[in-house]
Chains A and B, each alone.
Chain A
């Protein structure tokens, strides 16, 4: 598979879009991660 400058725009854009969604829902993401961590730590 060829990865060149033309491939970079979609790849960089996908990463940027994911970062944007993370920032938008930051509190929910952090809350969900904390919840999962607490569940995981209780099980172990």
Chain B
């Protein structure tokens, strides 16, 4: 037994190996995301803070695994050989990065990761190879570089936004504030404002009574990005660059730019991370643009392991049958677009009010995107059973679990028409819960 093997049994060493693996996995994740976004111009569906969120996320995930291992090493050192610990963590780190390549089947990714794990364990076991020391030193350097990059990017963003704000021309006297609220996914036919039988929008109806209601207005298309693009540019969706995997380009002036040119300070506060976040092209012209939350859940969801279908299905399943079904499927495909910490309308309003309250003698243009009525439906508090009965909700959850999806996509997925009706009511619950926030804003 080599001295290195003895040292590896120390619980502290296990934590150190976990930390190193997290740093390398985080760095690999950031590099892949950076290359996809900056070099290939692809959507990465990640927060701009992924530079620090991914490494911290891996640190938490790998650290959670290190706790039982370290305890076991303290009690039964021989059960936790160093080579096994290095193999486990090197494999996990390599697999985490390999999962980010959707063109490679997860099983093939796992084989590559196991190969890297085997090589790392062999190198670590060879006390004379110098690899453990090199890995520690490289890990420290990479961690420092990641921290510097994260701080630098945050600082650069704050400086750029501040500079743009300071460079604003004078606004016209008495220029009014403009608040632009979009209820993502909501149809007019589900709003009592437009005659729907259920009282889903009493606050909007009250506002409408004091203002103007457009009875003959249509979205230019059926989905978020080009539809928002039209709202922000005044150009028909067909003439915009915005598409399924293509952001809105800067060939057409946007509303926020026009407002800023008239001396307005501009702020965007959005909850639809898939198609209104920083990389969608809709952030152009805004001095402040808040999209992804900075939260523990978002940090954890910045790791590829927790962006897999398997992890999502396990966390979404509310019954054991659903969890078992997820394990049987064992789907390791990564879908970062679908998984982020959902921002409720209440939080969007909080962000807006905090920004709006900043001392300024300028008028503002604020854009708020509420996402609550988009599935999965999780109506807040008292709105949970405003229109849907609790039993029906249970049935919907069971059907969704059985189908192995976070939620049922269409009425056709639900065999009985009664379930579709329950789902419809559930959407109305969500809508009513969100609509209150229009009044709050």
Which A residues are within 8 Å of any B CB, using their own CB? 5, 8-10, 12-14, 16-17, 19-24, 26-27
Residues of A within 8 Å of B98, CB to CB, are: 16
Residues of B within 8 Å of A9, CB to CB, are 102-105
Complex Cα spacing A16 to B115, Å: 10
A8 with B103: CB separation less than 8 A: yes
Contact with A along B109-120 (1 / 0, CB 8 A): 111111110110
> Contact at B118–A24, with CB atoms within 8 Å?
yes
Pick the contact of A21 from B101, B115, B116, B119 — CB < 8 Å? B115
List of A residues within 8 angstroms of B110 by Cβ: 20
Give complex CA distance A5, B114 in Å: 26
Contacts of A24 in B (CB 8 A): 111, 114-115, 118
Q: How many residues of B contact A (CB 8 A)?
A: 19
Contact A23 B116 (CB under 8 A): yes
The yes or no answer to B122 lying at the interface (CB within 8 A) is yes
Question: Is A26 a contact of B104 with CB atoms below 8 Å?
Answer: no
Given that A9-B104, A12-B103 are contacting pairs, would A17 and B119 also be in contact in the complex, using a CB cutoff of 8 Å? no
* B residues neighboring A (CB under 8 Å): 98, 101-105, 107-116, 118-119, 122
B115 and A22 form a contact (CB under 8 A): yes
A-chain residues with CB within 8 Å of residue B109 when the two chains form the complex: 16
If A16-B109, A16-B112, A17-B111 touch, whether A23 touches B104 (CB-CB below 8 Å) is: no
Interchain Cβ contacts under 8 Å between A and B, 24 examples? A8-B103, A9-B102, A9-B103, A9-B104, A12-B104, A12-B108, A13-B104, A14-B108, A16-B108, A16-B109, A17-B107, A17-B108, A17-B112, A19-B112, A20-B111, A20-B112, A20-B113, A23-B112, A23-B114, A24-B115, A26-B115, A26-B118, A26-B119, A27-B122
**How many angstroms between the C-alpha atoms of A24 and B104 in the bound complex?**
18
Q: Give the CA-CA distance A10 to B108 in the complex, in Å.
A: 9
- Known A-B contacts A8-B103, A9-B103; A16 and B111 likewise in contact (beta carbons under 8 Å): yes
Q: How far is the CA of A19 from the CA of B101 in the complex (A)?
A: 15
- Classify the interface of chain B: helix, strand, loop or mixed: helix
Measured CA separation A22–B119 after assembly (Å): 10
Grouping DSSP codes into helix (H, G, I), strand (E, B) and loop, the A interface class, with mixed when no group exceeds half, is helix
Q: A13-B104, A13-B107, A23-B114 are in contact. List 10 more A-B contacts (CB 8 A).
A: A12-B104, A14-B108, A19-B115, A20-B114, A21-B115, A23-B115, A24-B111, A26-B115, A26-B118, A26-B122
Q: Known contacts A8-B103, A27-B122: does B115 contact A13 (CB below 8 Å)? A: no
A17 to B104, alpha carbons, bound, how many Å?
9
Rounded to whole angstroms, the CA-CA distance of A26 and B102 in the bound complex is 26
| A20 proximity list for chain B (CB < 8 A) | 108, 110-115
Distance in angstroms between the alpha carbons of A40 and B81 in the assembled complex: 40
Q: Which residues of A contact B104 (CB under 8 A)?
A: 9, 12-13, 16
Q: Chain A's nearest CB lies how many Å from the CB of B108?
A: 4
- In the complex, chain B residues whose CB is within 8 Å of the CB of A13: 103-105, 107-108
The reply to whether B111 and A21 form a contact with Cβ atoms under 8 Å apart is yes
Expressed in whole angstroms, the Cα–Cα distance for A22 and B111 within the complex equals 10
A14→B115 CA distance, assembly (Å): 14
In the A-B complex, the 10 residue pairs with the smallest Cβ-Cβ separation, listed nearest first, are: A23-B115, A20-B111, A13-B108, A13-B105, A16-B108, A20-B115, A20-B112, A17-B108, A24-B115, A12-B103
Contact partners of B112 in chain A: CB under 8 A: 16-17, 19-20, 23
Q: Which residues of A contact B107 (CB under 8 A)?
A: 13, 17
A27 to chain B, nearest CB (A): 7
Output the nearest chain B residue to A11 by Cβ-Cβ distance.
Answer: B103
A12 to B114, CA, bound (A): 17
Which residues of chain B are within 8 angstroms of A5 by Cβ–Cβ distance? Answer: 103
- Shortest CB distance B372–A (Å): 35
Residue of A nearest to B116 (CB): A23
Chain B contacts for A22, CB-based, 8 A = 115
Q: How far is the CA of A8 from the CA of B108 in the complex (A)?
A: 13
Residues of B within 8 A of A10 (CB): 105
List chain A residues, Cβ under 8 A from B115: 19-24, 26
Shortest Cβ distance from A6 into B: residue: B103
Residues of A within 8 A of B103 (CB): 5, 8-9, 12-13
CA distance A27 to B98 in the complex (A): 23
Provide the residues of chain A in CB contact with B111, threshold 8 Å.
16-17, 20-21, 24
